[in-house]
Amino acid sequence: QVPLVESGGGSVQAGGSLRLSCEASGYGYSGYCMGWFRQAPGKEREGVAHIDTDGTTSYADSVNGRFTISKDNAKNTLFLQMNSLKPEDGAMYYCASEASPARCYRSRATLNLIQTFKYRGQGTQVTVSS
């Protein structure tokens, strides 16, 4: 099992910002694509953002222009900067990683594949109040 540990969640008012982090350990992080997906109570899981091994990023339409995914390979850490948060962004956010180049490539256009990645963390809660 490859540990992924998310942090940075919390409660914020609409219009505010949060920065999520996901620390990976125990493997060659730079060779894995990574992403974030979320799940709100009573709703299906939703792929939010993806970053491939070459740095190519993809976003769900619902967050495009507000969220930014990035990673620091030296620190084995993935980030999700979330700005202009809306109440509907409130959810449990999970990071996930995948080693298969084919699955990574397909995930660029099909973000919901992120939830099927080989490794994922325990999640961090984001609450946005109106």
- Report the alpha-carbon distance of residue 101 to residue 93 in Å, rounded: 24
Query: Cβ(76)–Cβ(129) under 8 Å?
Result: no
Q: What is the pLDDT of residues 4-41, one digit of tens each?
A: 999 999 999 999 999 999 999 876 677 889 999 999 99
54 pLDDT higher than 60: yes
Q: What is the pLDDT of residues 63-102, one digit of tens each?
A: 999 999 999 988 889 999 999 999 999 999 999 999 999 9
Sequence-ordered list of residues with C-beta below 8 angstroms from that of 64, at least 6 positions apart, any chain:
none
Element (H, E) at 72: strand 67-72
pLDDT band at 3 (very low <50, low <70, confident <90, very high): confident
pLDDT of residue 97: 94
Tokens of 117: 């990645």
pLDDT of residue 74: 86
pLDDT of residue 29: 72
pLDDT of residue 1: 54
Which residue do the tokens 């948060």 mark? Answer: 85
Q: What is the pLDDT of residues 108-128, one digit of tens each?
A: 999 999 999 999 999 999 999
Helices (H), 5-128: 101-109
pLDDT of residue 106: 96
CA angle, residues 58, 70, 31, in degrees to nearest 5:
85
pLDDT of residue 88: 97
- Report the alpha-carbon distance of residue 53 to residue 51 in Å, rounded: 7
| Region class of 65: left (phi > 0), else alpha (psi between -120 and 50), else beta | left
pLDDT of residue 89: 98
pLDDT of residue 25: 82
- Report the alpha-carbon distance of residue 13 to residue 20 in Å, rounded: 16
